[in-house]
Amino acid sequence: MNLDNIENLTKTIRYWIIKSTTSAGSGHPTSCLSAVDFVTVLFTKYFNFNLDYPDNIYNDRLLFSKGHASPLLYTLWALAGAFNREKLLRLRKQDSVLEGHPTFRFKFAEAATGSLGQGLSVGLGMALALKRLDSNNSAKVYVLLGDSELAEGQNWEAFAWAGHNKTDNLIALIDLNRLGQRGETMLGWNLNQIKQQISGFGWETVAVEDGHNIELIDNIFKENLLNQQTRPLAIIFKTIKGKGVSFLENKNNWHGKALIQEQFKQAVQELQPIDKTLSIKLNQPKKTKEPRFSHNKITACFYFQKQPESTATRSIYGKTLNFLAEFNNNLVALDAEVSNSTYSQDFAKHNPDKFYEMYIAEQNMVSTATGLQRFGFKPFVSTFSAFFTRAFDQIRMAQYSKADIIFVGTHAGTAIGEDGASQMGLEDIAMFKTILNSTILYPADIVSAEKLIEKAYSLKGIVYIRLTRNNTPIIYSPEEEFNIPGFKQHGNKDADFLIISAGITLHESLKAQTTLKAENIDTLVIDLYSIKPLPQDLNKYLKQAKLVLVVEDHYKHAGIYSSIQEAFPSKKIKQLAVDRLPHSAKPDENLAYHKIDAKNIVKTIKEHIRLSSLDSKER
């Protein structure tokens, strides 16, 4: 397509953007219009994609981090023949996959975007994945960023990591249109400052003074895209928000507003002549190949005999990944510079080519994992459980990308001891519970930890595994099976008193059970290692017990107790949990302070017996 034809095509694209958003009665047409010219040149002349094989690993990829510009994305694919362009008029309708911000429902959206600042990290993961699939792969990942979202720190995490690691197939396209939602952005049209900032992170950076000059844009792309890159590339285009429609151009208070019919007619008149029949013929990549991986479901508790009597569940994590990676070549691991605490270092040592040190940048780490799994890789992502909270938005967005990611949080709860409140994961179960169709697993010893990590590999969606820092006794044999959902029972199945716990407090519950047994008080202790989904047959034991006591090293709201009450509401279910701010102390002191230790479990049950006895006498 020659440059004159591209000039005409940009009018066609602008027409469909304003028509689709006017039809929808909502949207962000001005944010689309500013990016039309340079994105159209890229898509028509330099972008390689085989529509018949959308999963082809040699296809280039285009990701809109500024997801509110989705009408531009949809229009490009419609004019390329991916779907009937008349469907653009179903934008934002309930029966349409063309949502206000892209999600996995639209086949050609690489990831769910629109929570600003995440797209570059996702693109980074995709770029890494394409090189993993073929180290000589020339396919590129293009990420369109808005200038407002450059205020998000996650972008700079991604710039830093990609620059440090010379991710040369990642290209950032920045739409510098000056205006955000409520006015001018932090740096406005300051091209040079943004160029210097990005260059400082090790990127090749180009500033374009006129992001609407088709010939200039073409020359920039020709000069920078057709030569072999050795570093990631950022091209910053100075543009005008609302470009092409005079009453929208560089005007404030038009962000997120669609035109009414009279304004639409005026805009169309300004865009004339418009050739509504124009289409895009995509360049074809030279090769075609879809991702293929080998899988072999093997389970073996082969570390059991070699371990000391008391071992932390986190200690088995990296070793289990080594075992899984022997039989499943899509497994990769990411860690946030705590691998010597999460024990992912054991995996890094034996599988350095499958391990990504992401440094202390959890948001970038999570979104990079989302990009990696886009092509079939299975990421295990580890850090302290407390630090996943800072990446909750990235985890939340991963679900809208239909991502398969396993998150492993160590150092959970007050039991970590002296490190103090900032390091204690006390909100993590609540956080992951809110993710649709998530799985939450909390093993109590290294046998169950290994088995559940192996099970997690085969699960779909978001999986969270909670591991402890503290050494705990081995209570299960290698022959034990751990089904999901499921639980384990300890003690008298017909006991009047039922104690439900998981992880560190399971061991406190078992200690309490021994103490109570010596006083002829029978209990049944349930190891609820599968917190979500909850096993339905748990209800049988809840019904028959006179008292149900849930003990957990987690804040009292939205943890294990809440899950049980939501599924099987009952007044006889009581809770021992963290209900005040924790502080530095020895692990045993913390458990006692928060009344989630064996002594307080015994005290609670005996107090219940005493009060029941008094109540019986009064009756």
In a 3-state reduction of DSSP, which class is residue 311?
strand
Segment (H or E) for 405:
strand 405-410
As a residue count, the chain comes to 619
| Residues 288 and 50: beta-carbon distance below 8 Å | yes
Strands (E), 452-604: 462-466, 471-473, 488-491, 497-501, 523-527, 530-532, 547-555, 573-578
Residues 6+ apart with CB under 8 A from 53: 59, 288, 290
d(CA 463, CA 67): 26
Q: Which residues are catalytic?
A: 362
Question: Which residue in the block uniquely carries the two structure tokens 């929208």?
Answer: 248
| Residues 97 and 105: beta-carbon distance below 8 Å | yes
Q: Could you count the other beta carbons within 10 Å of the beta carbon of residue 227?
A: 8
Tell me the residue type at 276.
Answer: K
3-state SS, 97-133, equals: CCCCCCCCCCCCCCCCCCCCCCHHHHHHHHHHHHHHH
Structure tokens at 363: 């948001």
Exposure of 475 by Cβ count < 10 A (0-12 exposed, 13-18 middle, 19+ buried)?
middle
Segment (H or E) for 382:
strand 378-384
* Nearest 10 degrees: Cα torsion 571, 577, 581, 584: 170
Structure tokens at 200: 């400082």
Tell me the residue type at 410.
Answer: T
3-state SS, 135-146, equals: CCCCCCEEEEEE
